[in-house]
A = this chain, B = another copy of it.
Amino acid sequence: MARSPTSQRLAETAIRLFNERGYDETTVDDIAARAGVSRSTFFRYYRSKDDVIFPDHDALLAKVEARLTASTADTAIVAVCDAVRIVLAHYVEDAEVSLRRYRLVGRVPALRHREIASVARYQRLFREYVGDWLAGTPDAALRAELMASSVVAAHNQVLRGWLRAGGSYDPFEPLDHALQYVIRTFRHLENLEGPRDGGDQVVVAAFPRSASPDDVMDAIRAHLGSRS
């Protein structure tokens, strides 16, 4: 958290060298030497070579968790959508670093794995939160998994687009747009008793005046998603 000037310089040197020579071609010795410190010092600040690219993910995860537990949203899915903004905000905050890292990660499989692994931690956090919220309802675990993965997917999609575009616009509008999809998609799932149980379900229907009964039946069949 409290980044010392030394660790700062190490991170900057590392990114620069990775971009110049490539990740695999840069040794920790190179980074340390160029930053004017010893190899020991590097590993004192960063537990591994790739840590220097992905710093404070733990801190960010903690922030997200705090936001979740403090949430006053009336729905789990809304709370999670709200929390995921923190993540995007973090990327936008230092866009420079995010962009450099994005280009790097795209070229180095090892870093891509690392990135994917940290995303999975957010998804897990969300899954557990939603799972607790839905506890006791039917298919709670399944719906929690679906909601969490969808929120993360929406976030990733928006983030990737923004990074590909070189961070040239405000990504929060598309994020809201994407999260609307998710919220609208899962609201009904959240209030549902079960997939086949119409319990206290409320559904809205609108047909063109010209629709024949057969048209209506076809539409209903399509919406029920009858399997082959």
Residues of A whose CB lies within 8 Å of any CB of B are 73, 78, 112-114, 116-117, 120, 139, 141-143, 145-146, 148-150, 152-154, 156-158, 161, 176-178, 180-189, 191, 195, 198, 201-207, 211, 216, 219-220, 222-225, 227-228
Q: How far is the CA of A116 from the CA of B198 in the complex (A)?
A: 36
**A223 cross-chain contacts in B, Cβ below 8 A:** 184, 187-188, 202, 204
Copies, count: 2
Chain A facing B: main interface SS? helix
From B161, B177, B201, B211, A141 is in contact (CB under 8 Å) with B161
- Are the CB atoms of A220 and B195 closer together than 8 Å? no
Q: How far is the CA of A206 from the CA of B187 in the complex (A)?
A: 17
A-B CB contact pairs (8 Å), 12 listed: A113-B116, A116-B120, A139-B177, A145-B157, A146-B154, A146-B157, A146-B182, A185-B185, A187-B223, A202-B205, A202-B206, A202-B216
- Are the CB atoms of B185 and A186 closer together than 8 Å? yes
- Shortest CB-to-CB span from A154 to chain B, Å, is 6
From B113, B156, B227, A180 is in contact (CB under 8 Å) with B227
